[in-house]
Amino acid sequence: MSTSELAIDVQGVTRIFESRKGFLFREISRTEALRGVDLQVERGAIFGLLGPNGAGKTTLTKILSTLLLPTSGTVRVLGHDVVGDVAWLRPRMGLVLGGERGLYNRISGRENLRYFADLYGVPLRERDARIAEVLARVDLTWAADRRVEEYSRGMKQKLHIARGILHRPQILFLDEPTIGLDPKSARETRKLVRSLVADGVTIFLTTHYMFEAEELCPRIAILSKGRIVAQDSVSKLRELVGGDRTFEAEGYGFDDRELETLRRLPGVSKIVTEEFGPVLRLTLRVRTGELQPDDVRRTLASHEEVSVRERRTSLEDVYLDLVEEEAN
């Protein structure tokens, strides 16, 4: 992929935080939040970044959006360096953080947007028309002149997005955009995000919701302990952890001999065991189509009460497998 096709190009980025502690704060503590991150995001797409708490997602998002300097490495967004070209980049970026901060509750939604339009340098002659446009886009025209303190959480999140797209950015950073929203508001937010991509906006999305990432993002990266442990399409990531098919067998008293027999079945790439009280669950990742649930049942035929079901390997399976491997 040529650099002209990339909205984001990250090469070898690290970020180290230093703090002082101890007697007279003479002891320096160093925390490595990012450890050699490489990341590429195509223009005009939704890209998802997943990772557990403390993995470095927020740190990376802040570096990409010019709010934080990398300790080392290079970061180019829209073809420009985030350290040297901040003045060029910021008018072309939008940033939407999850939660309720960043809005002025004592004034109306429209007045909030007027303030941010002036802050973003939206020409005065275009300001009111642009505000009306984004309010309609997020379905808040009816509440535009109500105080924000009267808004529900979902309405506030819509106003955050309206603020983020007010100046028509080329790239939009969404940090947990649906966190804490009810299912209806979350669905409306996802619909809005998809519509922005249709306008040519590149979207960089961080989320904890696996189904949301799978629904929205053609490509996904998984960040764990400051490193990118995988970066690809969901289908390719399924192959990475052992296959598109997953079998689950539940029963009592499976022994090592039976587990070894299961591992030798055609297409089985991995077996994960979990205990639920006296019940043991075996999760099999399967690469091929020849293995069937009945083959697993026959292998475990000595157990009268055993259930076997097949399902598609989910993004949550992929995520947990990769993060667990990194932890080990």
Q: Are residues 213 and 296 in the same domain?
A: no
Q: Looking at 56-60, 196-200, 213-217, which range is the least confident one?
A: 196-200
DSSP 208-258: S-HHHHHHH-SEEEEEETTEEEEEEEHHHHHHHTT-SEEEEEEES---HHH
* Domain boundary pick from 190, 213, 236: 236
Same domain, 276 and 227: no
Helices (H), 29-169: 57-64, 86-89, 109-120, 124-137, 153-165
Instruction: Kindly state the tokens that stand for 139.
Output: 């379905």
CA distances to 180, 187, 316 from 166, in Å: 24, 21, 34
- Tally the domains of the chain: 2
Q: What mean pLDDT comes out for the span 139-163?
A: 93
Q: Residue 3 — very low, low, confident or very high, per pLDDT cuts 50/70/90?
A: low
How much of the chain exceeds pLDDT 90, in percent?
A: 59
The answer to whether residues 159 and 148 touch, using CB atoms and an 8 Å cutoff, is yes
For residue 251, what are the contacts with CB-CB under 8 A and spacing of at least 6? 279, 280, 300, 303, 305, 306, 307
Q: Identify which has the larger pLDDT, 13 or 21.
A: 13
8 A C-beta contact, residue 279 and residue 250: yes
Evaluate whether residue 297 is within a structural domain. Answer: yes
pLDDT beyond 80 at 109 = yes
Task: Tell me the C-alpha distance between 29 and 7, whole Å.
Answer: 34
Predicted confidence band of residue 184 (pLDDT cuts 50, 70, 90): confident
* pLDDT score of 204 more than 80: yes
Average model confidence (pLDDT) across the chain:
90
Predicted confidence at residue 100, as pLDDT, reads: 64
Percent of the chain at pLDDT exceeding 70? 95
Asked if 197 and 301 sit in the same domain, the reply is: no
| Local confidence band at 99 (pLDDT 50, 70, 90 cut-offs) | low
Q: Is 323 within a domain? A: no
pLDDT at 97: 77
Q: What CATH number did the domain enclosing 89 receive?
A: 3.40.50.300
Going by their DSSP bridges, the two strands 307-312 and 72-77 should be labelled as unpaired
Confidence of residue 12 (pLDDT cuts 50, 70, 90): very high
Look at residue 2 and tell me whether its pLDDT is greater than 80.
no
The model's confidence at residue 325, banded by pLDDT at 50, 70 and 90, is: low
Which residue, 318, 315, 301, is CA-closest to 262? 301
pTM to 2 decimal places: 0.86
Q: Quickly state the pLDDT bin for 169 (edges 50, 70, 90).
A: very high
Residue 173 sits in the same domain as residue 277:
no
263/243: higher pLDDT: 263
The verdict on 150 and 249 lying in the same domain is no
Answer yes or no: is 319 within a domain: no
Q: How far apart are CA 169 and CA 196, in angstroms?
A: 10
pLDDT value at 121 more than 80: yes
* pLDDT: which is higher, 33 or 98: 33
- On whether both 195 and 60 belong to a single domain, the answer is yes
More confident residue, 63 or 192: 63
Together in a domain, 141 and 227: yes
**Mean pLDDT of the 65-91 span:** 95
Let me know whether 73 and 127 are in one domain.
Answer: yes
183 and 228 within one domain: yes
Query: Tell me, what CATH number does 267's domain have?
Result: 3.30.70.260
Higher pLDDT, 81 or 27: 81
**CA atoms lying within 13 Å on the CB side of residue 204:** 29
Residue 61 pLDDT greater than 60, yes or no: yes
Domain membership of residue 277 as a residue range: 242-312
* 46: phi then psi, degrees, rounded to nearest 5: -100, 125
| pLDDT of amino acid 153 | 86
| Residue 22 confidence (pLDDT) | 67
Q: What is the pLDDT of residue 91?
A: 92
Mean pLDDT, residues 284-311 taken together: 90
Residue 167 pLDDT:
93
